[in-house]
Amino acid sequence: MRRIFDFKKTINYAEVRFMILGHFELLKRLQNDLVVNPLDLDQVRENGIDLNISEQLTIEPKAFALAKTREWVEFPTDLVVLCNLRSTYARKGLLIPPTVVDAEFKGKLVIEIANFSDQPYTFKQGERFLHLLVEKCRGAKPYSGKYQRQT
């Protein structure tokens, strides 16, 4: 059988490695080149950073809406982020699609939230809703898309 794709050979040329930053490494990076503004230190969790919703938002049952973070973020060239809705909301039937924030992104995050429950849900302004897993990445291409510097 002929191989169409040689995984070992390809991965050597396109190697990307990830390492999730923990609490203490996040604190170091926040003093250096990682920007989250405004930020209360209790938003820096064991393995990520929690962000707040910028304004009150109600999502009707079986519908979705876009939620913007209160915080402005700036990620350096060697960091990428995986966004997760805090588990409290998943238990209520709210979900977000897989969301990656690329290296060099600057701006407020806008996240789609879907309500799969039978009840409307209202986020209060300033409520923590999003958990960021910040990952060190080697070989990332910096973001230069249309959402750069969104407010």
The string of pLDDT tens digits covering residues 56-99 is 999 999 999 999 999 999 999 999 999 999 999 999 999 999 99
Range of the domain at 89: 17-138
Return d(Cα 133, Cα 75) in angstroms, integer: 12
pLDDT value for 15: 55
Return d(Cα 53, Cα 124) in angstroms, integer: 8
Active site residue 25: no
Return d(Cα 128, Cα 124) in angstroms, integer: 9
Q: What's the predicted TM-score (pTM) here?
A: 0.85
pLDDT value for 5: 53
Q: Which two tokens stand for residue 126?
A: 């300033």
Q: Is residue 62 one of the residues assigned to a domain?
A: yes
Exactly one of 25, 71, 74, 112 is catalytic; name it. Answer: 112
Q: Is residue 7 one of the residues assigned to a domain?
A: no
Number of domains in the chain: 1
Q: Is residue 144 one of the residues assigned to a domain?
A: no
Report which DSSP code applies to 44: B
Return d(Cα 134, Cα 151) in angstroms, integer: 21
The string of pLDDT tens digits covering residues 103-137 is 999 999 999 999 999 999 999 999 999 999 999 98
Q: Is residue 76 one of the residues assigned to a domain?
A: yes
Give the CA distances from residue 77 to residues 27, 34, 66, 142, in Å, rounded to whole numbers and listed in that order. Answer: 17, 10, 26, 6
